[in-house]
């Protein structure tokens, strides 16, 4: 198995993409920490995947609070003996035109997506460096790490920022055999995306069906959503890659998304 006895921390893993990555990692032999703001959901997910409690654990973590991040990572190390993989996946979406976007929501979005990525990276790198066995840091970006859409100023800014962070971590981590990469999925029909459909329909004055066909999937080859398993398989590939030959990259996972 590709990840036999590797220890992975996945943020926002009680649902959606993060949950599927956790499932795939466990199947590949990893020990997995389900880090989430909702500890009950995190514990339930860990129990669902591993009733024995030996290879999966729930961790309470608000990624915008350094003390919670540090405490959560230390709890994982105490149980599993180290950290080999970080998947920084926690995120939310708030849509509005720039002229109506509140500064509070702007700061909230950047705090979760960027501050959270920085804080979890910092906490995990200390252990990866000290262990001397390398590691993999994977950021959940988006096609919006490379493109832009109306109503998503904070999200696009944050997702672009993850690419810059990954490049720095790739350079700093190279001497410690720590890789850093960004997965950039197309639209995945998770609860986060489902919530956006009526919101964008209202803001843009179009039907929900048009939001899906003319906004979300307009640039794809086949008009299909990316699946959570599409993303999870790329996360597995990156986590199990055997050398530093693949680092500092942003990898698009989509049904033929055309970059402008």
The residues assigned a catalytic role are: 155
In our burial notation (b when 16+ CB lie closer than 10 A, e otherwise), range 178-203 reads bbbbbbbbbbbbbebbeebbebbbeb
Report the phi/psi class of residue 205: left, alpha or beta, with left for phi > 0 and alpha for psi in -120 to 50: left
Q: Which residues contact 199 (CB under 8 A, 6 or more apart)?
A: 95
> Tokens representing 203?
């803001």
Among 3, 122, 114, 131, which Cα is nearest to 55's? 3
Q: Which residues contact 201 (CB under 8 A, 6 or more apart)?
A: 207, 208, 210, 211
Among 11, 20, 14, which Cα is nearest to 228's? 20
Among 93, 94, 92, 72, which Cα is nearest to 10's? 72
Tell me the C-alpha distance between 144 and 142, whole Å.
5
């Amino acid at each position: 198995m590709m990840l036999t006895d590797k220890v992975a921390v996945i943020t926002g893993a009680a649902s959606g993409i993060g949950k599927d990555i956790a499932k795939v990692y466990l199947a590949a032999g990893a020990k997995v920490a389900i880090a989430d703001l909702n500890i009950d959901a995190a514990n339930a997910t860990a129990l669902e995947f591993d009733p024995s409690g030996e290879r999966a654990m729930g961790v309470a973590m608000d990624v915008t609070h350094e003390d919670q991040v540090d405490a959560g990572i230390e709890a994982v190390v105490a149980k599993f003996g180290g950290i080999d993989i970080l998947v920084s996946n926690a995120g939310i979406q708030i849509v509005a035109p720039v002229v109506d976007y509140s500064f509070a929501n702007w700061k909230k979005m950047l705090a979760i997506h960027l501050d959270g990525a920085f804080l979890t990276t910092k906490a995990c790198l200390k252990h990866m460096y000290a262990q001397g066995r390398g590691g993999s840091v994977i950021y959940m970006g988006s096609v919006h790490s490379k493109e832009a859409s109306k109503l998503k100023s904070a999200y696009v800014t944050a997702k672009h920022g993850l690419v810059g962070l990954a490049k720095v971590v790739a350079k700093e981590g190279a001497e410690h055999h720590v890789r850093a990469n960004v997965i950039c999925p197309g639209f995945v029909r998770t609860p986060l995306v489902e919530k956006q459909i009526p919101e964008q329909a209202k803001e843009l004055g179009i039907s929900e069906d048009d939001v899906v066909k003319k906004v979300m999937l307009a640039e794809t080859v086949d008009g299909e959503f990316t699946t959570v398993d599409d993303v999870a398989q790329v996360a597995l590939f990156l986590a199990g890659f055997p050398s530093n030959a693949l680092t500092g990259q942003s990898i698009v996972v989509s049904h033929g998304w055309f970059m402008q």
